[in-house]
Structure 1
Amino acid sequence: MEKQIYIKKGNDEMELFSFEKLKHSLQYAGAPKNVIETIIHGIQPVIYDGMSSNEIYKKAFALLKKHNKVCASRYSLKRAIFDLGPTGFPFERLVAALLKEKGYKTEVSVILDGACVTHEIDVLAEKDGNVYAIECKFHSDAKGSSNVKVPLYINSRFLDIQEQWNTNSKNKTHLKQGWLVTNTRFTEDAINYAKCVGLTLLSWDYPKNNGLKATIDSMALYPVTTLTTLTKKEKHQLIEKDVVLVKELINASDKMKNIGISEKRIHRVLDEVKKLCDISQL
């Protein structure tokens, strides 16, 4: 019988380690069967009780990167979103881009008057005459989660804005709903409260099969922080130049040159970009 090993998750909870779960995440990233077997074989001897899930991820990522950089990029998505920080603005850009691909008109960082006070809305999205006020809650590590206080606060802000918007005869659209988006998770109370008041929630894996991970993969809207051909410093320099999405690099050769990336490396980066965007459409 295989020995049971407990590992420490990002939120400090202990969980029974599962090779099947690791295999599934590698398969989801598009890794071929023989590469998955090589990675499992490489990790099996070094796993121990109390090992962190982050250590396991780093070992799996390093092995996957040797065999297939594009699969490694997809596998790194969760960490790559954390790496968008320290501010939440690039995450807001990412959320706006996802909505734009779904047919919404979007604006980032919009100041709106409420019935009582003025509010800054992270993303304002409009589709078919309906407007949605979206708050983005970015966490820079996996321990961060949004408890019930967050949707309580967001919903009260939304109601203040909604009253003002929908009674203003100049507005030709209807402010329909508030949304709350986070890159980590919501507590059960937060989810229950949001369901009760009609606030839409979106997190890494909520709603099931339609969270951030599934949406980003299906649309190939990867953040630049997923790329293996750029250094961490280069990624943040590009984010400072307002390049947040991988696909934006296709028309950003000048920006890459401006931060000192050679012509040869630009070709390598663009090759990875094209493969990464294509693989999600298979």
Structure 2
Amino acid sequence: MQFYKCCRQKYCLPAWNTANSEEEGEVSDMKVIKASGEQEEYNEAKLRRSLASAGADKDTIDQIARSMGDLLYEGISTQKIYREAFRRLRHSSDRLAGRYRLKEAILELGPTGFPFEKFVSEMLKRLGYTSRTGVIVEGECVSHEIDVIAEKDDKRFMIECKFHNHQGHKSDVKVPLYIQSRFKDLEKKWSSLPGHKDKLHRGWVVTNTRFTQHALQYGKCVRLKLLSWDYPRHEGLKDLISRVNLHPITCLSSLGKKEKQELLKRDVVFCMQLSEDEQVLSHLNIDALKKVRVREEARDICNANQQNNG
């Protein structure tokens, strides 16, 4: 796609070309800065796909993509682009906006990693696993506290959850190296227990951001499962979250940051908890009207995913 330089080095999109940009997958010669600090060419198709995955219709996508031309300039951060797209989508629908900012919402599950561990455990349950969090397990040499233990059929997984509150942070090769060494200690013990000899035991690392290439290479070599925001392709964390209709309360536009943190402290992590139980919000210092808005938004986000997945 060709961009035309306007005043102050901003780039304007030709209206005749925006409607087909997703199908063409064209990129411009304008550089944008990713959260990791790396540069890449701006690709409007990525923006359009992210809006579509939130449930926005074609007219809304076209309108937002076309209007973004006034914002773009050489060296703009992708974070700023998506933050502005979120703001414009929010004018259309809080429900769509909540689903659009999923990556940022996962980042806000901190500062501790416990809500993320619970999130991963619940996601696996919805995928057919049995799972437990914070389990102390005896290894061959020492005992280990495991973030999540999940089982399905004849498979048993020791899962380490690596939570980061900044999307530019990647888990490097030291993470799978460390997890694999712990897993090997547990595997020796597990394989000697009654009923476990014929089971497949594997280690698994889940992160809400990304792995470095060396980390991915090592994981493949030792058969350590790795799950990041967009890895494996089409089976990444973002894909699984959408598939099982599981969205965190941090998606909600109707709640402030302090209110979200208060709920997380009380082990309220999921939008479904707000939509299913009226008492969950009772301890927050908010009026009745806001409680209604919060529950409606939570219910809308859950229902929207059910409709899209159906």
Settle same-fold status: TM greater than 0.5.
yes
Selected match of 1:15 from 31, 34, 40? 40
CA root-mean-square deviation: 1.7
- 1:260 aligned residue: 285
Question: Secondary structure in 2 aligned to 1:258?
Answer: coil
Selected match of 2:69 from 44, 58, 74? 44
- 1:212 aligned residue: 237
- Runs ≥4 residues deviating over 3 A: 169-175
Cα contact 1:29–1:71 (8 A) shared by 2: yes
Give the whole-Å Cα distance in 2 for the aligned partners of 1:89 and 1:31: 32
Deviation at 1:134, TM superposition (A): 0.3
- 1:57 aligned residue: 82
What does 1:119-198 correspond to in 2, within 5 Å? 119-169=144-194, 174=199, 176-198=201-223
Give the whole-Å Cα distance in 2 for the aligned partners of 1:274 and 1:111: 36
- Give 5+ residue unaligned stretches, structure 2: 5-28
Give the whole-Å Cα distance in 2 for the aligned partners of 1:193 and 1:170: 30
Give the whole-Å Cα distance in 2 for the aligned partners of 1:103 and 1:172: 22
- Is residue 2:224 matched to residue 1:199? yes
Q: Could you list the per-position Cα deviations for residues 69-120 of structure 1 after superposition, in whole angstroms to 9, with x for gaps in the alignment? A: 1111111000111111111111111100110101211111111111111111
- 1:83 aligned residue: 108
Deviation at 1:262, TM superposition (A): 2.4
Selected match of 2:251 from 196, 211, 226? 226
Across the two proteins, how many residue pairs are aligned to each other? 282
- Farther-moved stretch of structure 1 (28-37 vs 73-82): 28-37
Give the whole-Å Cα distance in 2 for the aligned partners of 1:172 and 1:128: 14
TM-score computed with the length of structure 1 as normaliser? 0.95
AA partner of residue 89 (structure 1): F
Deviation at 1:41, TM superposition (A): 3.1
Cα contact 2:191–2:197 (8 A) shared by 1: no
Deviation at 1:128, TM superposition (A): 2.3
Give the whole-Å Cα distance in 1 for the aligned partners of 2:106 and 2:225: 21
- Give 5+ residue unaligned stretches, structure 1: none
Question: Secondary structure in 2 aligned to 1:169?
Answer: coil
- Is residue 2:273 matched to residue 1:248? yes
Deviation at 1:171, TM superposition (A): 6.4
Percent identity of the aligned residues? 44
TM-score computed with the length of structure 2 as normaliser? 0.86
Cα contact 1:133–1:178 (8 A) shared by 2: yes
Give the whole-Å Cα distance in 2 for the aligned partners of 1:156 and 1:249: 40
